[in-house]
């Protein structure tokens, strides 16, 4: 029991001593001392202690070699504290202000990575996703031989798929809501924008089927035009995916369109 009390007392004493030491650093007028302590706190993982020191030191050393290093650690501190908006801004500001710095490549990548971290799930507005894409693409252009290029490309693939998924889901929603004209256009746009998509087979089929459903429910004066448009979509689908699981259904629908086209022309 005495040993436990002693351990608790020792820990409290260390904590109080540490707090007293930190207050001494904060109140000091010796900027070199503050600079050394800020770096030590940062390297020890005590980012919350280093942070206010870097903020103060940057004002003093701005425009100097130390100012460059302090600006770097300011941004890195924001990043470690997961303030990705401020970190991204500071990283961007850094590599623009110090393009020849040893940290320039890293800060440009981390600025883009902060944008990536701000990208929301696919169902939300994708403005941040598009910003992240642009910044990562710029990094890849500026640093094609970078050791970070594989990570950059992986992030780009993830962000592109998020945009792809959003467009796919929007097209599917139009289809389920039976707004077939909008669905047809959405699937057509998707197929043009994402020619290598994992959803391409389904989307080419649904572009045709949306056209079929639009045609058979169309008013008489637009029926022939829409039947022919749907039939063109069928030809495109079977040419691209002759072994598709949707081919049998597509053939049946195409036969119905052919009969409907003949009937409509006979009536006309």
**pLDDT, tens only, 139-151:** 999 999 999 999 9
pLDDT at 16: 42
Rounded CA separation 187/180 (Å): 10
Helix (H, G, I), strand (E, B) or coil at 121: coil
For residue 159, tell me if it sits in a domain.
Answer: no
Question: Is 150 inside a domain boundary?
Answer: no
Q: How many domains does the chain have?
A: 2
Tell me how far apart the alpha carbons of residues 198 and 6 are, in angstroms, rounded to a whole number.
64
pLDDT at 21: 85
Residues contacting 126, CB < 8 A, separation 6+: 119, 120, 162, 163, 166
- Distance (Å, whole) CA 220 – CA 145: 60
18 confidence band (pLDDT: 50, 70, 90) = low
Which of the listed residues 81, 102, 135 is the one where a domain comes to its end? 81
Tell me whether residue 60 is in a domain.
Answer: yes
pLDDT, residue 2, reads 44
Parent domain of 201: 177-268
Structure tokens at 33: 């001392």
Statement: residue 81 has pLDDT above 70 = yes
pLDDT of 268 higher than 60: no
Residue 87 within a domain: no
pTM of the model: 0.83
* Assigned domain for 30 exists: yes
Residue 108 lies in a domain: no
CB-based contact 75:87 (threshold 8 Å):
yes
pLDDT at residue 219 above 90? Answer: no
pLDDT exceeding 90 applies to what percent of the chain? 81
Residue 25: the pLDDT is 83
Per-residue CA distances from 237 to 102, 182, 195, 228, 245 (Å): 53, 19, 13, 14, 12
Domain's final residue, options 47, 81, 115: 81
In a domain, 202, yes or no: yes
pLDDT per residue over 164-198, tens digit each?
999 999 999 999 999 999 999 999 999 999 999 99
Q: Does some domain include residue 110?
A: no
- pLDDT band at 112, cuts 50/70/90? very high
């Amino acid at each position: 029991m005495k040993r436990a009390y002693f351990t608790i007392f020792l820990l409290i004493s260390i904590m109080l001593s540490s707090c007293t030491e930190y207050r001494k650093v904060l109140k000091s007028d010796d900027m070199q001392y503050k600079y050394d302590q800020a770096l030590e706190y940062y390297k020890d993982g005590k980012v919350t202690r280093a942070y206010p020191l870097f903020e103060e030191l940057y004002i003093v050393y701005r425009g100097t070699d130390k100012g460059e290093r302090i600006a770097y650690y300011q941004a890195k501190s924001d990043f470690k504290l997961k303030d990705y908006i401020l970190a991204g801004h500071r990283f961007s500001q850094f590599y623009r202000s110090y393009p020849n710095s040893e940290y320039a490549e890293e800060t440009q990548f981390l600025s883009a990575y902060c944008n990536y971290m701000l990208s929301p799930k696919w169902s939300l507005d994708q403005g941040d996703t598009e910003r992240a894409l642009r910044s990562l693409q710029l990094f890849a252009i500026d640093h094609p031989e970078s050791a970070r290029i594989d990570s950059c490309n992986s992030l780009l693939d993830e962000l592109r798929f998020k945009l792809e998924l959003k467009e796919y889901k929007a097209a599917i929603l139009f289809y389920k809501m039976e707004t077939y004209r909008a669905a047809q256009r959405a699937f057509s746009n998707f197929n043009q924008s994402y020619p290598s998509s994992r959803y391409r087979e389904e989307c080419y089929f649904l572009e045709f089927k949306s056209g079929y459903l639009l045609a058979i429910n169309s008013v008489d004066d637009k029926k022939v035009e829409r039947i022919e448009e749907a039939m063109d979509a069928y030809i495109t689908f079977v040419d691209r995916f002759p072994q598709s699981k949707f081919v049998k259904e597509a053939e049946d629908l195409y036969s119905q369109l052919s009969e409907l086209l003949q009937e409509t022309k006979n009536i006309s």
